[in-house]
Amino acid sequence: MKILVIGGGNMGLTYAQSFLRSQITSRSDMMILEKSPEKAAELAKKDIGTVFGTPEECLQGADLIILAVKPQDCQRLFETLKPLVDPQQVFLSIMAGVKIQTIADALGVHKVIRAMPNLPAQVGMGMTAFTSSDEVTRIELVMVQNLINTTGKTIYVENEAAIDAATAISGSGPAYVFYFMDAMMQAARQMGFSNSEAELLVKQTFRGAVDLYNKSDLSCAEWIQRVSSRGGTTEAAMKSFTNNSVHMDIIEGSRAALLRAEELGKK
Ligand SMILES: NC(=O)c1ccc[n+]([C@@H]2O[C@H](COP(=O)([O-])OP(=O)(O)OC[C@H]3O[C@@H](n4cnc5c(N)ncnc54)[C@H](OP(=O)(O)O)[C@@H]3O)[C@@H](O)[C@H]2O)c1
């Protein structure tokens, strides 16, 4: 299967490299279309397949076309692709907020898969929610899921609206985690630790807590109970978080992200 990645930026490159690293595809089956000549030259040095500068050179030879340009660049891209596409080609879009119907209408195609990855895909720890138009066959869907699995984990959602919800949780989520980490590092520095000590204390605590959670059946609330002894230090922190409605604020923040994803999807 010939794969064409359109847009050799952060995500396009991450995808191409993950597919090749996992040997799910070979260099001879991998094509990248990048409009910036400087970036194309850089990509060509990376040995990640054949790099092209115009769709005329590569689109017709592709079975799967991955749309990895910024959403604001998609209309211009669609205009250049439309005269060249074959309705049997499968399109996988990772562009935030661009709906399946928009892509299908703009290109005159039917087989469209929409995915929302997140940044940890760059280290093989991504979380991707994806969905598809009815015309994508089961075999095509499994094939694409196998490809995305090389960047981390995936869930298939029936309803496209759930892609906006996933954007608010796993798409923006790494920033929420960094926000929490940053606050804890600041607290550590205020307590007298050096920058590097604060960083180590916090990142190892996050990694340890997540590993512990992954290796057990306990819920977050049950783990909090285990760590908090009555009248102890963790309980003091938890009371302060509750009094300051930190839990509620995180839920509200995630809802704000969902509203924004829905708004952007209407544009
Ligand atoms: N980064 C993330 O964590 C993340 C997460 C989820 C989803 N996404 C989605 O992934 C997509 C790509 O994001 P990114 O961060 O990888 O962006 P990026 O680094 O800016 O990469 C996009 C690349 O596409 C190129 N491009 C634009 N128009 C093109 C065209 N017509 N033909 C060929 N190449 C073209 C751009 O070139 P120029 O620079 O010359 O314009 C740029 O190199 C976005 O739609 C975003 O919503 C990203």
pLDDT per residue as tens, the chain (267 positions)? 999 999 999 999 999 999 999 999 999 999 999 999 999 999 999 999 999 999 999 999 999 999 999 999 999 999 999 999 999 999 999 999 899 999 999 999 999 999 999 999 999 999 999 999 999 999 999 999 999 999 999 999 999 999 999 999 999 999 999 999 999 999 999 999 999 999 999 999 999 999 999 999 999 999 999 999 999 999 999 999 999 999 999 999 999 999 999 988 777
Residue nearest to atom 45 of ligand 1 (CA): 95
Under 8 Å between Cβ of 168 and 255:
yes
Ligand 1 neighbourhood includes 4 CB (under 6 angstroms)? no
User: Which is the closest atom of ligand 1 to the Cα of 167?
Assistant: 6
CATH entry 1.10.3730.10 includes domain 173-266: yes
For the chain, domain boundaries: 3-161, 173-266
- E strands, the chain, where? 3-6, 30-33, 50-52, 64-67, 90-93, 112-116, 126-132, 152-156
CATH entry 3.40.50.920 includes domain 3-161: no
> Given phi > 0 = left and psi -120 to 50 = alpha, else beta, which region is 18?
alpha
Residue nearest to atom 41 of ligand 1 (CA): 36
User: Residue 153 has which token pair?
Assistant: 């984990």
